[in-house]
Amino acid sequence: MSKPRFITFEGIDGSGKSTQARRFADHLRGQGGDVVLTREPGGSPGAEEIRQLLLTGDTDRWSAETEILLFTAARRDHLEKTIQPALALDKTVVSDRFADSTRIYQGATRGDLREMVDKLHSLMIGREPDLTFIIDMDPATALERGLARKSGEDRFEDFGLAFQETLRHGFLALAHANTDRCVLIDGNRTADQIASEIAAYA
Ligand code: TMP
């Protein structure tokens, strides 16, 4: 099998996936790889503007349906401006979140909207990662860690612990349904232990 070139990290808020995405990108660079580390929502100037709309304000600022449209709009711009150009230049792309986040955060928390997410994804995105690491973690610990950051981008953390537990189950089910590209990682360990397990996929 050829080396994976589009790699994503997924998980609940505070699961440590941003740290692991950065460490994996650094590891690949250490091996001589040409790597673009990016994130969602965001990763291009337009998508970063949409990020502000999505992650700030009250929990009821947007319905799940409106979120699907905004996250997909941001993703389309990210794909056009950052991901596709990098892959076309034979670079490796490591993204902190991608479409799986919409499948779970919007598709499986406030009603079953998965079909709507999937339809819009095939219409507007139509691309899956080659490899996805899903960092699984205890939701209470993760939420505490996420809120302690005081990032000012806590709209989804503000939905509370039950929401994070629903997300965790959604990500576990997604990992089991997509074993061709998803690797489930136990996030209840030190960052070093997790990073060394992930580094083996480089
Ligand atoms: P993060 O940068 O801390 O991961 O924050 C992004 C937040 O946005 C996080 O709470 C998950 C949420 N999100 C969605 O709800 N749907 C999506 O499609 C994406 C990419 C993120």
How many whole angstroms from 100 Cα to the centroid of ligand 1? 10
pLDDT for the residue numbered 184: 98
Q: How far is CA 136 from the centre of its chain?
A: 13
Count CB atoms within 10 A of the CB of residue 189: 14
Query: Which atom of ligand 1 is least distant from the CA of 18?
Result: 4
Q: Which of 44, 101, 118, 143 is the pocket-test mutation for ligand 1 (most atoms within 8 Å of CB)? A: 101
* pLDDT, tens only, 131-164: 999 999 999 999 999 999 999 999 999 999 999 9
* pLDDT, tens only, 66-102: 999 999 999 999 999 999 999 999 999 999 999 999 9
pLDDT for the residue numbered 2: 72
Tokens of 56: 């700030």
Crossing angle, helix 191-199 and helix 17-30, to 10 degrees? 50
Q: Are 114 and 103 in contact (CB under 8 A)?
A: yes
Domains in the chain, ordered, with CATH?
A: 6-199 (3.40.50.300)
Instruction: Provide the percentage of residues in the chain whose pLDDT is more than 70.
Output: 100
pLDDT at 1 over 60: no
How many whole angstroms from 12 Cα to the centroid of ligand 1? 9
Q: Are 38 and 93 in contact (CB under 8 A)?
A: yes
pTM: 0.97
Query: Which atom of ligand 1 is least distant from the CA of 17?
Result: 4
User: Ligand 1 pocket, 156 CB below 6 A?
Assistant: yes
